[in-house]
Amino acid sequence: MTSHDAPGTALVTGASSGIGWEYATRLAGRGWKVVLVARRAERLESLARELREAGATGVETLVADLADPADLARVTERASGDDVDLLVNNVGINGYGPFAEVDGDLLDRVLTVNVVALTALTRAAVPGMLARGRGAVINVASLLAFAGDLPPGPLPRRAVYAGTKGYAVTFTRTLAAELSGTPLRLQVVCPGLTATEFHLGAGATPVSGERRTHDEGGVPPEDVVTASLAALDTDEVVCVPGLTDPEAVTRLATAELDLRRGSGGRAAARYRGAGAKAREAS
């Protein structure tokens, strides 16, 4: 299945703004039916109107707060529908702030939206996709999944956010391996700074007012979606839209494998004192 096939319905979370709005628009333009999920009903209605005016049929809106268990249950129910061939887990909030000071409820919300909802929706959609022998899941992570502790640009105030995006990367790669040999496609897309509403709030409440972008700038969301849909068509699991050298992804995987294979059955000598170190060296 490629993004140019339009066999069924795409469910897009976080469709009321930014990257999600763009996924919905592009998929509807390719003939997909779309289910638009977010909290702001009026935004979803305005997107639905725009898509219908452009000729889309089968546009559905599903107003839901994915941090709310009852709402999440409604959306997982919809994601398990036998028409859903593409799930785009795009929703994400940042909860930025110094770790020791940031509100604990906000961090819970970040974990629920970025990790729990993504996992629950994938779990809801995959069994039906497997049974029907077609389907794809796109998870939106971030470049901040990588090298969060490394200079010259470590990531203060972002530990939980970066952790959730690391989860999205590891979860998607590992599930893609589990499902290799099936017709399902899994992708994790890792955008860098993107021009959306993302930095206009921490995510606890919706951004108010007209659609606009944050002051930080960044690449247009159109570029992120162009890369992601192209990568889906070529079966690329880890899509980094701005990455000019795709071998960097392979080198990362190779380094990870070295680390895992290099781990022996006992604690390494450097943890066991000077005698053990000398015995191991001899």
Ligand X SMILES: NC(=O)c1ccc[n+]([C@@H]2O[C@H](COP(=O)([O-])OP(=O)(O)OC[C@H]3O[C@@H](n4cnc5c(N)ncnc54)[C@H](OP(=O)(O)O)[C@@H]3O)[C@@H](O)[C@H]2O)c1
For ligand X, which residue of 8, 92, 95, 148 counts as binding (CB under 6 A)?
Answer: 92
Structure tokens at 200: 């206009």
Is residue 227 within the footprint of ligand X (CB under 6 A)?
no
Q: Which residues contact 121 (CB under 8 A, 6 or more apart)?
A: 11, 13, 75, 76, 79, 87, 89
Is residue 78 within the footprint of ligand X (CB under 6 A)?
no
Is residue 95 within the footprint of ligand X (CB under 6 A)?
no
Tell which positions 109-138 bind ligand X, by CB under 6 A.
113
Is residue 159 within the footprint of ligand X (CB under 6 A)?
no
For ligand X, which residue of 179, 193, 243, 276 counts as binding (CB under 6 A)?
Answer: 193
CA pair distance 206, 17, nearest whole angstrom: 10
Mask for 196-225, x = binds ligand X (CB under 6 A): xxx----x--x-----------x-------
CA pair distance 62, 221, nearest whole angstrom: 22
Mask for 51-70, x = binds ligand X (CB under 6 A): -------------xxxx---
- Cβ proximity to ligand X: between 205 and 254 the closer is 205
> In terms of DSSP H, where are the helices of the chain?
18-29, 41-53, 69-79, 104-111, 117-132, 159-178, 221-233, 247-261, 273-281
Q: Could you tell me the smallest distance in angstroms from the CB atom of residue 99 to ligand X?
A: 18
Is residue 191 within the footprint of ligand X (CB under 6 A)?
yes
Q: What share of the chain is helix, strand, coil (3-state, %, to 5)?
A: 45, 15, 40
167 is catalytic: no
DSSP 114: I
Q: Pick from 98, 191, 68, 83: which is nearest to 138 by CA?
A: 191
Is residue 8 within the footprint of ligand X (CB under 6 A)?
no
Structure tokens at 221: 């969301």
**Which of 23, 96, 161, 167 is flagged as catalytic?**
161
Is residue 19 within the footprint of ligand X (CB under 6 A)?
yes
Residues tagged active-site: 161
Q: Which residues bind ligand X (CB under 6 A)?
A: 14-20, 38-40, 43, 64-67, 90-93, 113, 140, 142, 191, 193-194, 196-198, 203, 206, 218
